[in-house]
Amino acid sequence: MPFYAYKCNACENEWEKLLSVSECGVRQCCPACSSDETRKVVTKCQVIFKGDGWVDKNGRIKTQMNRKNRILGEKQKKYKGAKLVPNVGGEQVDSWSDAQKLAESKGKKAETYTKQVRKEQATR
């Protein structure tokens, strides 16, 4: 609902009133002298658009995504030199095939090592 500014013709009093759009045409009485000789001076309207299709929300989302991508990029640079080391439950082994065998012997899922074993065999 917008604020409407009124001025009394009788006593020159100015005031603001929050009214619905349907009430803005109704003549208002002065709160100081109770005169109905008033006029609307200025309409101050604050509009809030809700929903996905508005510029403000899209801009805010774009800013958030840029910040997230910047942070993600910094993390990727930080861990770029890091590489996987063959291990099973923290116990390091010499190769991925050894890790797969150790996982089988410990009753863990050995299939999770298959991709790394194939890469290892392809580089030999």
- What is the extent of the structural domain holding 12? 3-44
Lowest mean pLDDT among 51-60, 81-90, 96-105: 51-60
117 within some domain: yes
79 within some domain: no
**Structural domain count, the chain:** 2
92 within some domain: yes
pTM, full prediction? 0.36
49 within some domain: no
Helix (H) or strand (E) holding 17: strand 14-18
Q: What is the pLDDT of residues 86-124, one digit of tens each?
A: 888 888 999 999 999 999 999 998 888 999 999 889 987
Residue 11 token pair: 């006593």
